[in-house]
Structures are given as structure tokens and as C-alpha cells.
Amino acid sequence: MQVFKAMFKVTKKRLPSVLAYMLVFLFISFVHARSATKDNKFEANRLKICVFDEDDTPESHALIDFIGKSNNLKTIENDRDVIIDSLYYGRVDYALIINKGYAKKLSAGETDDLFGSYHMDENYSVVYMGQLLDEYTTSVKAYITMGKTIDEAISSAEEALSQHTEVSMLRLDKGGDSHYSVDFAQYFEFMVYILISAVMIVVCQVLVTMNRKDIRFRTNCSCIKESKYTFQLFFGSCLFVLAMWLVLMIFGIILNKEMYAGRAWYAVLNSLIFAAVTATIAVFVASFEPKENVLNLITQVLGLGMCFICGVFVPISVLGEGVLAVARFMPAYWYVKANNMIAETEPYSLSGVLQCYAIQTLFAVAMIVLSVLVRKVKYSSAAIGTSVKKIAVHQ
Amino acid sequence: MFLHILKYELKNGLRNKDLIIWLILFPIVLGTFFKIAFGSVYEKNEKFSAIPVAIVEVNENPAFRQVVEGIESADVPFLKASFVTREKAEKLLDNGDVEGIIFTEDKLRLIVKEKGLQETMLKSFIDQYVVRESIAKDAMKNAPEKVQDVISVLTEETAASCREIPLTQGNPDPYIQYFYNLIAMVAMFGCVTGMHITMQNQANLSALGARNNCSPVPKSLNILACITGSCIMQAVCMIVCVSFLAFVLKIDFGDRLYLVYPTAILGGILGICFGFLIGSLSSLGEKTKAAVLMSVSMLMCFCSGLMVADMKVIIADKIPWFNNINPAAVISDCFYCLNIYEDYDRFITKLINMIVISVIFIALGFITSRRKKYASI
């Protein structure tokens, strides 16, 4: 097992960079998992709202209290620049000004121009708050029309507005299967990036090193059989990928706080298949013998590219049709699709999941066939002959 | 002599493949991915458009139907409703074609799939309907003679009670920050070029450095020429990067694109100064130095929000001074100011901030690299 041993010696040198990747990934997953919840009860969104009360009357205070009931009130400095920054960076969702004379106008039954709001763009928060304010003022006005005083009108309006419609979720437990929640599914989803990066950095780099001209020539003239050499390389790569995958799976158990069960096993199998696919991609890329900097670029492009295009970093629903059409030609798309089905963010069907498995496997087979082809052309005796001649001429 | 060294510095840079890969190709690729991923998030998820909803009429409720149809025919409709059967509605919801299903039973009931603002808005819409209904009932009970007035108050098209005060003419898409940080990243990658300057002038680190040190050219002149050369190359990279983002990917930098270019170039120079300083501080080998520089600049970009956009906000809350000394954050802030603020005050402050950091870096770099003598190597 000379080749196998040599291979792991090279691998050892690459481990620190992989460890860095892994640690960052695991840390982020850990932080992410702590904020996750398993039950799936509907909660209304609470917006972050800052109110500048220029009227400062009991009526305006009542309104602020009312807004505060269903939203979070924030205080920020009343300075144009600070408000712009806060709105742009999402520190507050809505900046409301209660204009002077609010109480007077309201008790007179006028509802126009009661408020001002600092406006960045027409987003959902703006429309939502606009409706909420209109609703509040209309209700108060309605009660005033009934002949109530302003105080009574406000309290009656608040009472009327405190009725809430019953909202239920399509599925009670997140993901239809409590063993594989939507939040936990994210861990498997982000695994795409770490698998591609780590496998490419190590397997590809090691294979390129082992294939370096002088080492290659030395191996070729040793008595080891070609098939044995290839087998040992293959075995070594598989072992590394498997080890990495195992680490990720074990950490998954820790994150999930329970052993995989039920449908979660489908996700485990899915990730194993994807790990195999990345390994074959690494072998394929390595057969072109890229230089280190080019290899780093390819790793980043493949890793980030698949993650962005196939819906790992951003949900598939926001990606355009054109992008998805391209994504279908990438294994990560099918991995994510299977993962979504298992977590039931997409309708679940076993045959659908199996189909995704099959497509990923086909990618792996295609990669193997392609790399065998490339190697055949590159390392055929004729090709080696020419390269030896070239070297001889140079010297 | 200055021009001679400058010429060779430029030639040297042109043949350096790392430069082309990391300063031109990588940003182009990453920018394209950003565009693919974030290009339509804002339009689809944040900017308001009618919320699609399915309505299943379990019991006939003509009043509700009328309200919904009234809303749909408004200038800026709030809902996009489709009246369907229960099975169809559930399928639509599952596929994400609608945000929720409203059942018109004795009471209105809402089923949603996710928890978000759009779902909350649907809920508040139904709440509104219920509230108006109960107010009308209240009126009938307590003040029957005024029912007509109350109903007209509830149904009349009231002028919006809220007047909007516009804050900016710029592009309010928060996802554009990723592109600011991308430019900041390219600028910070200039540090590797900056580091090469010191490598070429430290005799104990490279053969070229040894040769340069025994030439009769003053060190200051030599370094100055190298820095000028690096800055020119970096400027080209920055121009390529900004042009690609602005014209190929059609990123909207606000209406002052002509100022984005010089800002980016200044940012690039800042990156070079940073690399120059770190390079001259230590006598580590080239690979180690490059690795340190790359990871430090990546960390800076992370803090300014290249990977997670909220990072800068979190830092602004906890340690606000850090955003003023983090070069990547300063660079991306400049672009933000150019886009959002109408006046130039903050932009100029940030720009001065950037120049001050560059000058400090370069001065420290000169101080640490001067008077180095190599008795024997």
C-alpha cells in the first residue's frame, strides 16, 4: 500500500485548511440550530417601529401603546442620517411621526394627514403599517360618529381591534415529519458548500500532487501495476470523503439532539450520494492537472456557484426560471430538491426522492466516465512519449 | 530610473497570473453569482406586490366576496385572490403559488404555510374585515339611528392618514450591499500586490530583493516606483470590476456612477498600502505572508458584510468605532453614501477616513522598511 500511504502523507499537509472550513461551518450551524424551533405555531410578525411623537397627548400615547402591542417599539435618534441608516440596514422597519394636532384632528373626525412616515421604498412593512394606521383611525372615527367621546371611542376601537382571526399552519409539525424538521434540513442543505470545498481542496490537490510529472514518471517505472495504483488512489480518496461525511453526520446527530429516525435516513443517504458525486467531480477536475491557484479558483467557482444557483444560499423560490433551467444540469440542484421534499417544503413523494438520487448517481457515473476518457487521452503512451520528447528538447 | 523600475514593475504584474485570477476573474464570477442569487430577492420578497391568496367558500359570504373584489380592482391591489375548491387551494399553497387560504365558514379562517410578513398581512386583512363587521354590529346595537353614518365611515374611501416623506433618490435595495462588499474585497486583495513590493526589496526573502538591494538606486525611489506600478495595476482591476458590475450585471449604484470609479480606485490603493505595511512588518516567507494577508482581508470583508449582510449592523451596534478603522467597511460605506445620501458630507468624511488610513499604513510601511542592512544572507 505504498501509494495509499504516500497519499495520506500529502493529505495530512492539507488538513489544516479543511479543518478551518469545517470549524467555521460547524460553528455557524451550531449558532443557527440554537435559534431553531420545532413546533410550528403561527405567530404574527412583529415589526421594529420607531415613533416620533410630536403631538405628545394622551391620545397619541394611546396609539403608541396600541402599536406596541403587536410590534416592537425602538427608539432611535431623530436625525435624518440615523433614520436613513436604520431603515436601510433594517434596524427599524418603519419610522412613524405622529404629527402635531393629531388628537384635535382625530376628535374632529378628520383622518387625513395625521401621520408622517420616513419613506425609503414601497415595501411590505410600509403597506402593512399604512393599513394598520388607517384601520385604527377609521375605527375611532366610526365610534365617534356613533356619538362617543374621543376617550370612549379609542377604548372601544382598541377593544374591537383586539379580535384576532384564527390562523393555522398547513402542517402542524414543521416538515410533516417530526424527525426531520425544516430547520434541521438547513444543516443538510449548507453541507453542499462544505462538501464541495473540502473535498475539492483535499482530494483534488492530492491527486494533482500524485500526478506531478516527476512523481508520475517515477511511479510509472516502478514495478507496481497500473490497476493497483489506481485502486489505491481511489480507495484513499473514498476513505477521506467517507471520513468527512461521517464527521458531518455525527455532528448532525449532536445538532438534532437525537439519532436519525424515520425520514431523516433518506436525508443521510442523500448526503452520502452527494458526497460521492463531489468526489467524482474532484477526480475529474484533477485529471486536468490544474495549478494550485487555478484549482482554488475552480473550487470557489464550483462551491459558490452551485450554492447560489441551486438554491442553497437563497431559496429556490426566489431564483428565476432561467437560473433554474441551468441549475438542473448540476447535481446540487437535485440534492437540494430531494432535501426539500424530505423536509416537505416541497410536496413529498418517495418516487420523487428516489428520482433525485438516481439523477445524482448518473452525474457521478458521467464524471467517472469523463475522467477515464481524459486520463486515457492524457496518459496514453503516445501522449507520454510526446511530453518526454518535449522535455528532452528543452534540456 | 523611476520610470525604468515602474516599467518593470508593470511588466512583472502583467505576467502574474494570480493577479488576473483573483483580482479580475474571481470578482466577475462571484459578482455573477451574487446577481443570480440576490438580483430578484428584493423585487420578489421585499418590494410590495399584491399578495396571492386562495379563497375557499365553504359558506356563501357575498359581503366578503364583494370586499375582496373591491380590493382587487383598486389601483394598487393588495390581494390577488382566486376562488377555488379546497383541494385545489391546498395544492396551490403547497406549491407556493399562494401565500394562504381563506375559508369562509361561520368565522373566517386562515391557513398558511410559512410565518412571515405577507402571512401577517393576510391575517390583518381578515382581522380588519371582522373588526368592521363588529363595529357595524355595535352601531346597530348602541346607536341604531346612526348606523348609516357609521357604515359610510367604514366603507368610504378615506384619504390615507399617513403622508410619506421620501428619504432618498438612490437605490433602496439592501442586497446591493453585497456588491459594495465585493468591490471592497477586490480592493483588499490589492494587499497581495502590495506585499510583493516588500518581497522585492527585502534581500533575505527573495533573489530579486537581493539584486535590488545591491543596486545603487535609493530604496525610497525604488519602493515609490513599485508602489506607483502596483497602484496603476490595481486601478485597472478596480475599473474592470466596477464596469463589469455596472454595465454587464446592470447593478444600480445610484445616479453618481462617475464617483464610484475614483472611490473604488482609492479603495484599491488602500488595499495596496495595507499589504505594503504587513509585508514590511515581518520577515515571514512569501506563502505565509500571502496566507496571513488573504485571511485578514477576508475577515475584514466578513465584518463588513460580504458573507452575511447583517454583520456590519451588528458591529455598528456593539463596537461602532470598528467600522471606521476596518478598511473594507470604510470602502463599502463610501459606495453606500454615494447611493443613498443626497449631500456629500458623509461621503467626503468617509473618503477622508479612507485616505487617512492609507497614509498611516504607507508611512508606517516606509518607517519599518528603511535602514535595513543585510551584512550577510
Tell whether ipTM is more than 0.85: no
> Do B104 and B32 share a structural domain?
no
Helix (H) or strand (E) holding B80: strand B79-83
Asked if A280 and A198 touch (Cβ cutoff 8 Å), the reply is no
| 3-state secondary structure (DSSP) of residue A318 | helix
**Mean of all residue pLDDT scores within chain B:** 86
pLDDT value, residue B236: 93
Using pLDDT thresholds of 50, 70 and 90, give the confidence band for residue B330: very high
Distance from CA of A370 to the nearest CA of B (A): 25
Q: In this structure, what is the dihedral angle of CA atoms B274, B280, B286, B289, given to the nearest 10 degrees?
A: -50
pLDDT of residue B289: 84
Is the pLDDT at B316 greater than 90? The verdict is no
pLDDT of residue A173: 52
Q: Which residues contact B179 (CB under 8 A, 6 or more apart)?
A: B31, B34, B245, B251
Residue B105 is part of a domain; what is its CATH number? 3.40.190
Nearest to A165 by CA among B80, B64, B178: B64
What is the DSSP track for A340-366? HHHHTSS---HHHHHHHHHHHHHHHHH
Is A274 in contact with A331 (CB distance < 8 Å)? yes
For B34, the closest chain A residue by CA position comes to: A308
Residue B201 backbone phi and psi in degrees, to 5: -120, 5
Nearest-CB residue to A84 (from B30, B150, B340): B340
- B169 within some domain: no
DSSP string, A236-271: HHHHHHHHHHHHHHHHHHHHHTS---TTHHHHHHHH
Least Cα distance to A273 among A375, A390, A359, A170 occurs for: A359
Ordered by where they begin, the domains of chain A are 2-37+174-384 (no CATH), 48-161 (3.40.1710.10)
Lowest-confidence segment of B50-64, B171-185, B234-248 by average pLDDT: B50-64
User: Has residue B200 been placed in a domain?
Assistant: yes
Task: Decide: B327 and B300 in contact? Cβ < 8 Å.
Answer: yes
User: Are A21 and A201 spatial neighbours (Cβ–Cβ below 8 Å)?
Assistant: yes
What is residue B116's predicted lDDT score, i.e. its pLDDT? 80
Task: Print the SS3 string covering chain B.
Answer: CHHHHHHHHHHHHHCCHHHHHHHHHHHHHHHHHHHHHHCCHHHHHHECCCEEEEEECCCCCHHHHHHHHHHHCCCCCCEEEEECCHHHHHHHHHCCCCCEEEEECCCEEEEECCCCHHHHHHHHHHHHHHHHHHHHHHHHHHCHHHHHHHHHHHHCCCCCCEEEEECCCCCCCHHHHHHHHHHHHHHHHHHHHHHHHHHCCCCCCCHHHHHHHCCCCCHHHHHHHHHHHHHHHHHHHHHHHHHHHHHHCCCCCCCCHHHHHHHHHHHHHHHHHHHHHHHHHCCCCHHHHHHHHHHHHHHHHHHHCCCCCCHHHHHHHHCCCHHHHCHHHHHHHHHHHHHHCCCCHHHHHHHHHHHHHHHHHHHHHHHHHCCCCCCCC
Q: CB A127 to CB B168 under 8 A?
A: no
Choose among A332, A325, A103: nearest CA to A197: A332
Cα separation of A378 and A374, whole Å? 6
Alpha carbons A238 and A248: distance in angstroms, whole number: 15
Q: Which residue has the cell 520610470?
A: B3
Note whether B128 and B102 are within 8 A (CB): no
Is A102:A57 a contact under the CB 8 Å cutoff? yes
Q: Do residues B198 and B335 both lie within one domain?
A: yes
Written as one letter, the residue type at A320 is G
Indicate if B139 and B191 belong to the same structural domain.
Answer: no
Beta bridge partners of A72: A48
- Cβ atoms of residues B114 and A315 within 8 Å: no
In the listed set B161, B187, B217, which residue is the last one of a domain according to the structure? B161
The answer to whether residue B168 is domain-embedded is no
Enumerate residue ranges in chain A where pLDDT < 70. 33-41, 171-178, 380-384, 395
User: Last residue of a domain, which of B161, B195, B211?
Assistant: B161
Using DSSP's 3-state secondary structure scheme, residue A93 falls into: coil
Cβ-based burial of A366 (10 A; exposed 0-12, middle 13-18, buried ≥19):
middle
Interface test with A, best of B132, B161, B169, B308 (most A CBs within 10 A): B161
Closest CA to A92 of A105, A111, A77: A77
For B231-271, the pLDDT digits (tens) are: 999 999 999 999 999 999 999 888 889 999 999 999 999 99
The reply to whether A28 touches chain B by the CB within 8 Å rule is no
User: Do residues A86 and A76 lie in contact, with contact meaning Cβ atoms separated by under 8 Å?
Assistant: yes
| C-alpha cell recorded at residue B248 | 454587464
**B261-273 exposure pattern, b = at least 16 Cβ within 10 A, e = fewer:** bebbbbbbbbbbb
- Is B163's Cβ below 8 Å from some Cβ in A? yes
Q: What are phi and psi of A119, to 5 degrees?
A: -120, 125
Per the DSSP assignment, residues forming a β-bridge with A173 are A39
The count of domains in chain B is 2
Shared-domain flag, residues B102 and B206 = no
Q: Nearest Cα to B30, choosing from B307, B332, B300, B265?
A: B307
So what's the pLDDT on residue A175? Answer: 47
Q: End-to-end distance of chain B based on CA atoms, in angstroms?
A: 26
Q: Is B99 on the interface with A (CB under 8 A)?
A: no
Shortest Cα distance, chain B CAs vs residue A128, angstroms: 6
Regarding whether B352 and B253 lie in a shared domain, the answer is: yes
Give me the domain span that covers residue B238.
2-42+174-370
- Distance from the Cα of A90 to chain B's closest Cα (Å) equals 9
State the Cα–Cα distance between residues A35 and A241, nearest whole angstrom. Answer: 30
Q: Distance from first CA to last CA of chain A, Å, rounded?
A: 34
Q: Which residues from chain A sit within 8 angstroms of residue B315, using beta carbons? A: none
Partner residue facing B25 (CB), from A80, A117, A297: A297
The confidence score (pLDDT) of residue A336 equals: 93
Locate cell 475522467: which residue?
A371
Could you tell me if B307 and B333 lie in one domain? Answer: yes
Phi, then psi, of B100 in degrees rounded to 5: -165, 165
Report CA-CA distances (Å) from A40 to A33, B41, B113. 15, 25, 10
Nearest residue to B363 (alpha-carbon basis) of B233, B218, B227, B190: B227
Residue with grid cell 476513505, as numbered in its chain: A239
Partner residues linked to A33 by β-bridges: none
Question: Of all residues in chain B, what percent carry a pLDDT higher than 70?
Answer: 98
State whether B225 and B182 are in the same domain.
yes
Q: Which positions 178-217 of A are in contact with B (Cβ < 8 Å)? A: none
| Beta carbons of B253 and B177 less than 8 angstroms apart | no
Which residues in chain A are contacts of B254 at CB distance < 8 A? none
Contact A293 B21 (CB under 8 A): yes
pLDDT of residue A40: 61
A177 phi/psi in degrees, rounded to 5: -140, 110
User: Can you give the pLDDT at residue B359?
Assistant: 95
Evaluate whether residue B239 is within a structural domain: yes
Q: Is A126 on the interface with B (CB under 8 A)?
A: yes
Residues B185, B138: one domain?
no
Q: Name the DSSP class of B186.
A: H
The alpha carbon of A235 is separated from its chain's Cα centroid by a whole number of angstroms, namely 32
What's the pLDDT score for residue B117?
84
CB atoms within 10 A of CB B376: 4
Q: Are residues B144 and B189 both part of a single domain?
A: no
Task: Looking at the structure, tell me whether residues B334 and B240 fall in a common domain.
Answer: yes
Last residue of a domain, one of B132, B161, B190: B161
Contact status of A314 with chain B (Cβ, < 8 Å):
yes
A119 with B38: Cβ contact below 8 A: no
H/E run at residue B102: strand B100-104
CB contact (8 A) between residue B162 and residue A117: yes
With cut-offs at 50, 70 and 90, classify the pLDDT of residue B187: very high
* Chain B hits for A81, Cβ within 8 Å: 341, 346
CB atoms within 10 A of CB A9: 10
Confidence at residue A209, expressed as pLDDT on a 0 to 100 scale: 85
Query: How many CB pairs lie under 8 A apart between chains A and B?
Result: 230
Q: Out of B47, B126, B341, whose CB is closest to A165?
A: B126
DSSP letter at B158?
Answer: P
A89, A156, A323: residue with CB nearest B313: A89
Note whether A319 contacts B: Cβ–Cβ < 8 A: yes
In a shared domain, residues B238 and B365: yes
Question: Does B150 contact A at CB distance below 8 Å?
Answer: yes
**Phi, psi for residue B326 in degrees, rounded to 5:** -75, 110
User: Residue B38 pLDDT > 70, yes or no?
Assistant: yes
Confirm if A334 and A183 have CB atoms less than 8 A apart.
no
CA distance B149 to chain A (A): 7
Task: Give start and end residues of each alpha helix (H) in chain A.
Answer: 2-34, 58-70, 80-88, 102-107, 124-145, 150-161, 182-199, 205-210, 213-220, 226-256, 264-286, 292-309, 321-327, 331-343, 350-379, 381-394
Which of A380-394, B122-136, B284-298 has the lowest average pLDDT? A380-394
Is residue B166 situated within a structural domain? Answer: no
Mutation target to probe the A interface, by most A beta carbons within 10 A, among B15, B43, B131, B186 is B131
Choose the closest CB to A120 out of B149, B153, B172: B172
C-alpha cell at A363: 452525474
Are A293 and B112 in contact (CB < 8 Å)? no
| Residues of chain A positioned with their CB less than 8 A from the CB of B150 | 142, 145-146
**Measured distance CA(A386)–CA(A67) in Å, rounded:** 79
Based on the domain organization, do B138 and B197 belong to the same domain? no
Q: B30 touching A, CB under 8 A?
A: yes
Q: Which residue, among A181, A306, A383, has the nearest Cα to B29 in the 3D structure? A: A306
- Whole-structure pTM over 0.90, yes or no? no
Q: Give residues with Cβ within 8 angstroms of A150, minimum separation 6.
A: A59, A103, A106, A107, A140, A144
